[in-house]
């Protein structure tokens, strides 16, 4: 290519260079990789964050999420002064993702909206807010999603292979187990777990299975499985705590709670029951900044 350009007249070469430069600008976007609900790298839940000038086609967004291969990639576009936010797993778009929302806010606070104390995002779950708190915590405001008592679905019992105390239907299924040790030692059969969609009559694949129990050094522990979303186990899940917080707040008789997610990467969260809303607090660690060329 260089040899071919060198043979061209100067004016033609400059025209081609300008064209290549403009093409590069149109196809380049800022990308950030952030670990969420952790104070250390390689902990918590990794999220991709893409800052866009305009929306790309959905199949391109899905392709980027698949290429990134983290549980969720967040895409942001600022229109008329308002941030619009969407989330994609490697397989589909989802209607709520807490950790990628917090990742998005942390990127904007550090690189774009450096003087802001609070950010609002327009999403499929309405307006979500993330605010700076004390001691480096970010506080995310989510809709509360309490569950209703549900039956012991046979596929659920078989897939988990442990004694289940209670099951609740919410946008995600909530499964209450006896102890932290039981939650930690679970090895679900994901093939069977996928069958819960039909048994529980979930309308689509946009749901997960939350397992929880009282914690030894916190108020409660949990894990989150979402094989129908293309995510076997999610390391640290903000949206799950919009279901967990109302349950544990009622059970323990307190509105401020501490929580751990017992995945291999681990997650530390702070939760507040605010009635129809849930406040979820956490820390983030920036791992990577760069450009994507699409």
The structural domains of the chain, with segments of one domain joined by +, span 28-136+283-293, 148-281
117-129 pLDDT, tens digit per residue, is 999 999 999 999 9
Domains 28-136+283-293 and 148-281 share a fold: yes
Residue 268 pairs in a beta bridge with 260
Q: pLDDT digits over 239-260, tens only?
A: 999 999 999 999 999 999 999 9
* CA–CA separation, 222 and 172 (whole Å): 13
pLDDT of residue 5: 44
How much is the pLDDT for 15?
A: 63
Give pLDDT tens digits for 33-48.
999 999 999 999 999 9
User: Tens digit of pLDDT for each residue in 10-67?
Assistant: 445 566 556 545 544 556 899 999 999 999 999 999 999 999 999 999 999 999 999 9
> In which region does residue 216 sit, left (phi positive, over 0), alpha (psi from -120 to 50) or beta (all else)?
alpha
In contact, 91 and 85? CB cutoff 8 Å: no
Residue 138 burial class via C-beta count within 10 angstroms: exposed 0-12, middle 13-18, buried 19 and up: buried
Residue with tokens 């299924």: 173
Report the 3 state secondary structure along the chain: CHHHHHCCCHHHHHHHHHHHHHHHHHCEEEEEEEEECCCCCCCCEEEEEEEECCCCCHHHHHHHHHHHCCCEEEEEEEECCEEEEEEECCCCEECCCHHHHHHHHHHHHHHHCCCCCEEEEEECCEEEEEEECHHHCEEEEEECCCCEECCCCHHHHHHHCCCCCEEEECCCEEEECCCHHHHHHCCCCHHHHCCHHHHCCCCCCCCCEEEEEECCCCCEEEEEEEHHHCEEEECCCCCCHHHHHHHHHHHHCCCEEEEEECCCCCEEEEEEEECCEEEEEECEEEEEEEEEEC
Residue 135 has a pLDDT of: 84
Q: Among 73-82, 107-116, 117-126, 199-208, whose mean pLDDT is lowest?
A: 199-208
| Active-site annotation, residues | 72
Top pLDDT among 4 and 87 is at 87
CATH 3.10.310.10 fits 148-281, yes or no: yes
Question: What is the pTM for the complete model shown?
Answer: 0.87
The CATH homologous superfamily for domain 28-136+283-293 is Diaminopimelate Epimerase; Chain A, domain 1 (3.10.310.10)
- Give the residue-averaged pLDDT of 264-271: 98
Categorize the per-residue pLDDT at 1 as very low, low, confident or very high, splitting at 50, 70 and 90: very low
Q: Is the pLDDT reported for residue 7 higher than 90?
A: no
Distances (CA, A) of 139 to 79, 111, 149, 214, 216: 24, 18, 29, 23, 24
Spatial separation of the C-alpha atoms in residues 184 and 146, rounded to whole Å: 23
**What percent of the chain clears pLDDT 90, i.e. is strictly above it?**
86
β-pair type (231-234, 256-261):
unpaired
Whole-number CA gyration radius for the chain: 21
């Amino acid at each position: 290519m260089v040899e071919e350009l060198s043979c061209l007249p100067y004016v033609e070469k400059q025209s081609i260079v300008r064209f290549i430069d403009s093409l590069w600008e149109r196809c380049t976007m800022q990308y950030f990789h952030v670990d969420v609900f952790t104070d250390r790298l390689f902990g918590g839940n990794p999220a991709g964050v893409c800052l866009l000038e305009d929306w790309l086609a959905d199949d391109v967004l899905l392709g980027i999420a698949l290429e990134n291969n983290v549980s969720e990639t967040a895409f942001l576009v600022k229109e008329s002064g308002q941030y619009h936010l969407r989330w994609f797993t490697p397989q589909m778009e989802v209607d709520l993702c807490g950790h990628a929302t917090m990742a998005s806010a942390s990127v904007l606070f550090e690189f774009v909206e450096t003087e802001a104390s609070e950010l609002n995002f327009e999403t499929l779950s309405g307006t979500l807010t993330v605010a700076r708190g004390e001691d480096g915590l970010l506080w995310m405001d989510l809709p509360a999603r309490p569950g209703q008592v549900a039956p012991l679905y046979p596929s659920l019992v078989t897939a988990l292979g442990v004694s289940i105390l209670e099951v609740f239907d919410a946008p995600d299924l909530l499964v209450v187990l006896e102890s932290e040790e039981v939650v930690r030692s679970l090895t679900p059969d994901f093939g069977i777990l996928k069958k819960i969609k039909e048994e529980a009559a979930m309308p689509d694949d946009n749901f997960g299975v939350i397992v929880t129990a009282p914690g030894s050094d916190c108020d409660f522990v949990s894990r989150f499985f979402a094989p129908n979303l293309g995510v076997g186990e999610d390391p640290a899940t903000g949206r799950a705590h919009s279901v967990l917080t109302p349950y544990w707040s009622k059970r323990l008789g307190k509105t401020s709670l501490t929580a751990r997610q017992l995945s291999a990467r681990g997650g530390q969260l702070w939760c507040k029951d605010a009635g129809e809303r849930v406040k979820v607090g956490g820390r983030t660690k920036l791992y990577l900044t760069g450009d994507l060329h699409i």
